Structure 1
């Protein structure tokens, strides 16, 4: 009886230890997910605590080594990024403003140039007087493409600006977190394979689902960073030069006559347009008004008082 009670007590203690390890795992995962949403790097201590909990559930031999690896992760990453031989990962962007007599033609030429380099066109708003295009160009061909886009055949370059953001540390950080998340997920799956109680199985399955979602988020972030590094973004703005060329003043007699004739033609054209604008209203409203006035005049004539003949005045004697 005593040995049976001791075995039950040992099993209960083991279950409590496993439950404590799962709680620590959940806390570490929640902190890592929150850090992912804020775009921050998670601290090494929660991951080390989570690793230590797994060691408690599956054995205590790997806890010290995991703590040392988590503690030395940041210095190793910083040293790796800071090395001169490390290939820097840059996200490059550029903006070009052109003035062209034909906006649509220049927009088509710009699109053809980008497609020829292996790029593609994103959002585009092209009109007859202005256009704004978002172009995606391979980063290794950005400088050559900018030279072709600012060629005189497309228009006169008004301004150009470029920017570059170094994301090397972000990429190294994401890669390290992906490796850590995959190892953590494998450990939880191993615990799930050894679990026997229903409560443990439910908690471990929930933990596996959460860590798989975190891993998927990290993979998508790595994909976005890789795409931003591989393809540079070029914003092209086109506008039509509609300003008339300045006309030199002509002080001669012919110049004065030409100016007077132009003023006469402009005045006559304005008067004709004004008459044409008022004529429909005059026809629609003036004709009925004239007919009403004529009718009123005819009806008013019989009503006029006839002049009264004056009686002769007699003088009294």
Structure 2
């Protein structure tokens, strides 16, 4: 009996140990399985967060690129075109008539004209200054070149976009300045204040008118191109047009200098012509003057 109890106690102890080992292993396996699951969940959450981080600023960048694309407006360039063309043919009068019709067909006009003829009345040369729309400038050159044999052509383009934009900006600022001055005029109380504001208002209105005139001039130059057409008879050289005369301060300065040089040249010529006679007169007059001076000194001594 004692042995049976001892064996039973040993078996019971072994069973308890086995059961506790199985339970521990079950708990360990459960925790080991739960830990990777938690780790995967954490990695998944970290991965989603890491994936979300670079995508977050992507939308503002796209917005900026779209905004930059819409913020750059297309600016129309302001171009002044000028040129000259020389055409040779058998009948200058006929070429001139065709040239006028060709320019009229392009909504252009003849600004000025200078023609010449021979003793029989036949037109032998014609110089025309033509105004054509800038967009039709090349077409005008081509049509006029087809009138005869083209001898010479010159074209020039000047970009005045910055001037046009600058003048438009200054006009807007000047108009805003005038509005402020008119507002001050309504608040002026004393005569001195009224006179001061009116004087400044008049000055700014004058500046605005000057800017508007400049803007109109630029608009005319950019809208209409200038083409100088020279038509000459076949076998004869083209007649050069006389240069335009200067006006204003430079013209007065040039005329005054020419007058001064002309007067100086005339005086120098007169002095040069009289110089031989002056030398001869000096040769005769100097000894006579000395002789007379000696006589005047001797007369008092003789009286004593």
TM-score (norm 2): 0.51
Separation in 1, partners of 2:81, 2:73: 20
Mapping of 1:199-214 within 5 angstroms? 199-214=192-207
* Cross-structure match for 1:116: 105
* Cross-structure match for 2:137: 142
Alpha carbons 1:171, 1:225 under 8 Å: kept: yes
Q: Secondary structure at the match of 1:200?
A: helix
- After TM superposition, which residue ranges in structure 1, 4 or more long, deviate above 3 angstroms? none
* Cross-structure match for 2:253: none
Cα distance change, pair 205–171 in 1 and its aligned pair in 2 (3 A): same
Question: What is the CA deviation profile of residues 264-292 of structure 1, one whole-angstrom value per residue up to 9, with x for unaligned ones?
Answer: xxxxxxxxxxxxxxxxxxxxxxxxxxxxx
Question: What is the CA deviation profile of residues 239-262 of structure 1, one whole-angstrom value per residue up to 9, with x for unaligned ones?
Answer: 11246xxxxxxxxxxxxxxxxxxx
Mapping of 1:221-236 within 5 angstroms? 221-236=214-229
1:182 counterpart = 2:171:
no
Cα distance change, pair 181–84 in 1 and its aligned pair in 2 (3 A): closer
1:165 counterpart = 2:154:
no
Separation in 2, partners of 1:207, 1:162: 45
Residue of structure 2 aligned with 1:106, choices 90, 95, 114:
95
Alpha carbons 1:124, 1:134 under 8 Å: kept: yes
Consecutive unaligned residues of structure 2, counting only runs of 5 or more, are 1-71, 117-122, 237-304
Separation in 2, partners of 1:241, 1:119: 27
Offset of residue 84 of structure 1: 8.9
* Cross-structure match for 1:126: 115
Alpha carbons 1:107, 1:126 under 8 Å: kept: no
* Cross-structure match for 2:190: 197
Question: What is the CA deviation profile of residues 223-244 of structure 1, one whole-angstrom value per residue up to 9, with x for unaligned ones?
Answer: 111111111111001111246x
Q: Secondary structure at the match of 2:83?
A: strand
Consecutive unaligned residues of structure 1, counting only runs of 5 or more, are 1-82, 244-317
* Cross-structure match for 1:92: 81
Q: How many residues end up aligned between the 2 structures?
A: 159
Separation in 1, partners of 2:115, 2:90: 14
Offset of residue 137 of structure 1: 0.6
Q: Secondary structure at the match of 1:125?
A: strand
Offset of residue 161 of structure 1: 1.0
Alpha carbons 1:98, 1:239 under 8 Å: kept: yes
Separation in 2, partners of 1:209, 1:111: 46
* Cross-structure match for 1:237: 230
Q: Secondary structure at the match of 1:122?
A: strand
Separation in 2, partners of 1:98, 1:118: 22
* Cross-structure match for 2:33: none
Name the one with the larger helix percent: 2
Residue of structure 2 aligned with 1:216, choices 196, 209, 214:
209
Q: Which has the larger radius of gyration?
A: 2
Alpha carbons 1:90, 1:167 under 8 Å: kept: yes
RMSD over aligned Cα atoms: 1.4
TM-score (norm 1): 0.49
Separation in 2, partners of 1:84, 1:212: 32
